[in-house]
Amino acid sequence: LNRRLDGLGTTIFAEMSALATATGAINLGQGFPDTDGPESVREAAVRALRDGRGNQYPPGPGIPELREAIADHQRRFYHLSLDPDSEILVTAGATEAIAATMLALLEPGDEVIAFEPYYDSYAACIAMADAKRVPLTLRAPSFRPDLDELRSKITPRTRLLLLNTPHNPTGMVLTPEELSAIAALAIEHDLLVVTDEVYEHLVYEGTHHSIAALPGMRERTVSISSAGKTFSFTGWKVGWVMADAPLVAAVRTAKQYLTYVSAGPFQYAIAEALRLPDAYFDSFRADLHRKRDLLGDGLRAAGFGVYQPQGTYFITTDIAPFGEKDAYAFCRALPERCGVVAVPNSVFYDDPEAGRSQVRFTFCKREDVLAEATSRLRHLS
């Protein structure tokens, strides 16, 4: 393994899902739903396959139908107007979007300021681009970013701010005021902003706002999203990048040599999914809102310290009330102790001490599964 990938090993999600499979425990670790997305969207994929649409290499930027549907989605939800031909690029999930963006925009040695705890692929992609990640630590209990601290981390080598809202794993959702303050810093220091918004439709308190919509931000922002979370098809790996044409062209150059194109028939299906009526998005969010409260109540009853998330489908907890400190050891032992799998947030920090006693649970599971998991967790103390 080369120096850049040194220490990146196996992702915590793969490790913990393997542990769930090996032990038969309930998997509240890796974030994937146990119920697939809408039947009509699945049917659209089958129809595309059957009719021979997308079975051969689709166009590099993504099929026009999907790019148009993404543009319409951005107009419908954020009043953003995008040119489907030059300002949208379809990728193999948000994961490839993040990788291609980092590889396209960073020079070796550039500094990237990113929230920590961070989604694990950020660290890997910044490392693969030979750039340097500068963490801005989100601290319990609110996990709000300290904007003075953000300012103090900007140096002449800073090239890019990597945002994630709603934020995995903490569930923090940036407010319009925070987004404006971040935008002002980006403009003042002439920085690019990359914003990962894959949980855009999972906000329970407040609303999701896109930093790209703020004055002066359009030309310096790359927005990333994906169909995996919004439509409960994480296995399809359909994501997208949205930005001004020169930025999209740069990211497209990198994407061409990573996957060339993304799987065809799923693109046709997601083009239909993005046109589902508002009622779909509302009931999807309402369903997860209920599940958030169910899991949150269950975790509190079991004795965890619960940090209430405003968005995403994750809850970060603290295991200190059990007299335990080491989240990783706790998560390794949890299946044995009570038949549940979770993810230690400690691995999402540069300084493992910072998140040492934080454990993340997902609630994108059936209500009976969440009830069973929390009843098992009650036997812990």
Determine the interface stretch with ligand PMP among 42-50, 54-62, 232-240, 248-256 (rule: CB under 6 A): 232-240
How far is the C-alpha of 237 from the C-alpha of 233, rounded, in Å? 8
Q: Is the Cβ of residue 30 or residue 158 nearer to ligand GLN in the bound state?
A: 30
How far is the C-alpha of 261 from the C-alpha of 228, rounded, in Å? 17
Query: How far from 364 is each of 36, 69, 249, 284, 338, CA to CA, in Å?
Result: 11, 26, 35, 11, 20
Q: Is the Cβ of residue 210 or residue 376 nearer to ligand PMP in the bound state?
A: 210
Subset of residues 188 to 207 that bind ligand PMP, contact rule: CB under 6 A: 196, 198
Subset of residues 104 to 163 that bind ligand PMP, contact rule: CB under 6 A: 119
Asked if 262 is part of the footprint of ligand PMP (rule: CB under 6 A), the reply reads no
**Can you state the percent helix, strand and coil of the chain, rounding each to 5?**
45, 15, 40
Q: CA-based angle 96:98:99, to the nearest 5?
A: 65
How far is the C-alpha of 340 from the C-alpha of 350, rounded, in Å? 26
- For residue 148, the minimal CB distance to ligand PMP (Å) is 25
For 182, residues 6+ apart whose C-beta sits below 8 A from its C-beta are 145, 147, 150, 161, 163, 174, 193, 211
- For residue 11, the minimal CB distance to ligand GLN (Å) is 6
CA of residue 231 relative to chain centroid, distance: 14
Q: Which residues bind ligand GLN (CB under 6 A)?
A: 11, 13, 30-31, 168
Asked if 223 is part of the footprint of ligand PMP (rule: CB under 6 A), the reply reads no
**With CB cut-offs between 5 and 8 Å by kind, which of ligand GLN, ligand PMP, none does residue 166 bind?**
none
**With CB cut-offs between 5 and 8 Å by kind, which of ligand PMP, ligand GLN, none does residue 30 bind?**
ligand GLN
Asked if 168 is part of the footprint of ligand PMP (rule: CB under 6 A), the reply reads yes
Residues of this chain that interact with ligand PMP (CB under 6 A) are 93-95, 119, 164, 168, 196, 198, 226, 228, 234, 237, 239
